[in-house]
Amino acid sequence: MTAFTTILYTLSSAFLIPVIVLLIGLFGWSLLTMGDFLRETLERRRRNKTKTALTEKLEGQFFEVVRVSQSEEEAMLKMDDLIDATADHMTRKLEKTDLCCRVAPMLGLMGTLIPLGPALMALSGGDMETLAKKLVVAFTTTVIGLATSALSLWVGTVRRRWYDLELREINRMANRLLGQAHVAEIEETKTQQIKEIANDPAFRKMDSKKAFRETASA
């Protein structure tokens, strides 16, 4: 039994350094994410609430799709591909913050529990200096883990609301452009039919007879 406990103690102690390194990395990443989040917040406040850089970019791409597409179905498929790619990009971005929000507290808890074993051993031996050092490590890892999780949760929650609004606006914009393209296609078809009728010899003959009758009656 002593051998198993020794193995477990050795393994748990070996996790301390990787846990601390990962915590520092996640905390640094959360700070970078917070900076990008603040930049995005300022950009959105400068722009119209429903016109972000992403929606303006997609609007230009949608116009190009409508212009080069041969039919409404083709334009719809291309627009759906653009919307799906945008939604995937948003999902991947949110997944990173969600993962950080969940992993950081786990690492903080591991960083808290791992030093408690040596701390209790130091307490039983009367080594107060070692006990104090281990407790400092335990408490600081907890704080860092919770702070990282809180930053990631905040950024992820606000961005999820932003992206939901953007996707709804993008879908409305795509439907509006498809409707305009459909109306333009109908008008073009009517114009083409009028030209074909006007160029029809039978129509020209009938029109000439009508003009002759109107002249004779005058």
Joined tokens for residue 127? 């080594």
User: Tens digits of per-residue pLDDT, 50-105?
Assistant: 566 777 777 777 777 767 666 667 777 777 888 888 888 889 989 999 999 999 99
Q: What is the signed CA dihedral for 148, 151, 156, 158, rounded to 10 degrees?
A: 170
Joined tokens for residue 64? 């190009």
Can you state the percent helix, strand and coil of the chain, rounding each to 5? 90, 0, 10
Joined tokens for residue 137? 């490590």
Rounded to whole angstroms, how far apart are CA atoms 78 and 19?
Answer: 46
Alpha helices of 114-127 — where are they, by DSSP H? Answer: 116-124
Q: 16-46 and 72-113 are packed helices; what angle lies between their axes, rounded to 10 degrees?
A: 140
pTM over 0.75: no
Q: Do the Cβ atoms of 62 and 177 come closer than 8 Å?
A: yes
Joined tokens for residue 76? 């719809």
> What is the length of the chain?
218
Beta-bridge partners for 48: 51
User: Tens digits of per-residue pLDDT, 1-42?
Assistant: 477 777 777 887 888 899 999 999 999 999 999 999 998 888
Rounded to whole angstroms, how far apart are CA atoms 43 and 32?
Answer: 17
